[in-house]
Chains A and B, each alone.
Chain A
Amino acid sequence: NAGVTQTPKFQVLKTGQSMTLQCAQDMNHEYMSWYRQDPGMGLRLIHYSVGAGITDQGEVPNGYNVSRSTTEDFPLRLLSAAPSQTSVYFCASKPGQLNTGELFFGEGSRLTVL
């Protein structure tokens, strides 16, 4: 079972460059989300989606865009990278917005912005 797959696992960018972090899940989950993890701050929600065509902002959305054209995919776009976006990014999914089940996490994407 693939579960939640994130690519790339590592990326180095220069300030101002753009890139997309890919996230795909094969569990037919309605709910998908992106978190960033920074030392001492736990995981902070960037954006989330409760289904195809529906996205919403989380706690720290500035500098990031998302879209959800299919149930399986939820890419995270950085349009103009900044050093403050150096972080580890996690994609996570679960069956539905109101489902109280666990979030399933990908293995993370480590991004460094120089």
Chain B
Amino acid sequence: AQSVTQPDIHITVSEGASLELRCNYSYGATPYLFWYVQSPGQGLQLLLKYFSGDTLVQGIKGFEAEFKRSQSSFNLRKPSVHWSDAAEYFCAVGAPAAGNKLTFGGGTRVLVKP
């Protein structure tokens, strides 16, 4: 069965600084990988996804993520954080051999300092 680990529970970053959120997965083959964002009191919104091809994927709101097979990682990055990026971020892995059910990591809460 697949699993996802987000090592950082909380991250505080200054507005305008860069942000990187870590995600490590466990799966026997190439998984489908996703990053979702959850604003307070809201559902989850897809930021970006990786299925195959170029290992650097671009998403909405200026986010990007890089798939590194050798490290089983799919880290999310943003060059310059805005106050509106304060939210909780979830990495998820979908297993093609298991009907693409998504398994989510525990989430990383991002706080943005002015």
Tally of A-B residue pairs with Cβ under 8 A? 57
Query: Taking the nearest CB of chain A, how far is it from the CB of B52, in angstroms?
Result: 10
Tally of B interface residues using CB under 8 Å: 26
Q: Of B14-22, B38-46, B68-76, B79-87, which binds chain A?
A: B38-46
6 contacts between A and B (CB under 8 A): A40-B9, A40-B106, A42-B104, A98-B99, A103-B102, A105-B44
* Residues on B with beta carbons closer than 8 Å to the beta carbon of A100: 32, 49, 51, 94, 96, 100
Task: Encode contact with B along A83-103: 1 for CB under 8 Å, 0 otherwise.
Answer: 000000010100001111011
Leading 3 A-B pairs by shortest Cβ distance:
A105-B43, A42-B104, A102-B46
Closest partner residue, chain B, to A41 (CB atom) = B106
A interface bracket (residues with beta carbon within 8 Å of B): 20 to 34
